[in-house]
Amino acid sequence: MGNHPLTLYARSNKFKPESVVVITGATSGMGRELAVRYAERGCKIVITSRSLPELKRIAESLNMKYEKSQVVPYAVDVTLEIECRRLMEYTVSLFGRIDILILNASATMPRGLFENIQDLDAMQKLMDINLYGQIYPTKYALPYLKETHGQLVISSTLAGEIGLLERSGYCASKFAATGFFESLRMEVGKQIDITILCPPSVVVEGNVDSEIIIHQRDNHTLISNRVRSHQSPRVKKTASWMGPRDQGSSHVLWIWL
């Protein structure tokens, strides 16, 4: 989803100014960057995460900078089905439709051998966030996306395509999500565009990137935020885009941020 002229031309039949966009996991990483880019284009955006104060800060900043856009904060725990249903109902009550749903909320856990995991609740938490945290929003946005012939964007990872050493739980959750959306793509056909992004990693320029991390301490599963600072130069993000099976193998999608 970039500002490169060729990208905009290729998507001109789908993207329009004032499109209504819902973004989960919008307080950091790709979610926050996509919120910025859609705000630049004058979209109506509902940004979500668990942290309402941070959402309000981001929304206030974007609304001041991009007057043609309207950014609304809405706190959601994507592991709770009822909250995801209310999110979609709130968005439609506010803007009348949903054109694009971006699923960016995600969690990870420290590297380690599966046999050394003492409490499997950590893997259950991963599934709750990385799988059901994408299924629930999709379930309740689907009727509205069909009405607008909209787009569903899943922010996944290369770990959802290739098994990685000491990442069994994380890979399992990402593989499951990829399988679900590839199946859903065949079900909805041309009614909705489904795009799965699978970058090996994401670097945010000169900013602080926070992600949910699930870890264990004294046999208890905990959820916290890991924060890391990046001072790398601006880069073009790349992602593998899994196209429909009848179109052949995977393609490469360049995201110009």
**What are the pLDDT tens digits along the chain (257 aa)?**
344 444 445 455 556 778 999 999 999 888 999 999 999 999 999 999 999 999 999 999 999 999 999 999 999 999 999 999 999 999 999 999 999 999 998 887 777 887 888 888 888 888 899 999 999 999 999 999 999 999 999 988 776 667 777 677 788 888 889 999 999 999 999 999 999 887 766 655 433 333 444 444 443 333 333 333 333 333 333 333 333 333 333 333 333 32
CB-count burial class (<10 Å; 0-12, 13-18, 19+) for 33: buried
Please list, residue by residue across 18-27, b when 16 or more beta carbons sit within 10 angstroms of its beta carbon and e when fewer do: ebbbbbbbbb
pTM reported for the whole predicted model: 0.75
* Residue entry with tokens 């999110």: 87
Q: What is the pLDDT of residue 234?
A: 34
Residue 46 belongs to domain spanning: 5-255
**Total domains, the chain:** 1
To the query of whether residue 140 is one of the catalytic residues in this protein, the response is: no
CB-count burial class (<10 Å; 0-12, 13-18, 19+) for 180: middle
The 3 state secondary structure assigned to the chain is CCCCHHHHHHCCCCCCCCCEEEECCCCCHHHHHHHHHHHHCCCEEEEEECCHHHHHHHHHHHHHHCCCCEEEEEECCCCCHHHHHHHHHHHHHHHCCCCEEEECCCEECCCCCHHHCCCCHHHHHHHHHHHHHHHHHHHHHHHHHHHHCCEEEEECCHHHCCCCCCCHHHHHHHHHHHHHHHHHHHHHCCCCEEEEEECCCCCCCCCEEEEEEEEEECCEEEEEEEEEECCCCCCCEEEEECCCHHHCCCEEEEECC
Dist. CA 24–CA 19, nearest whole Å: 16
Q: What is the pLDDT of residue 40?
A: 94
CATH of the domain at 126: 3.40.50.720
Q: What is the pLDDT of residue 201?
A: 62
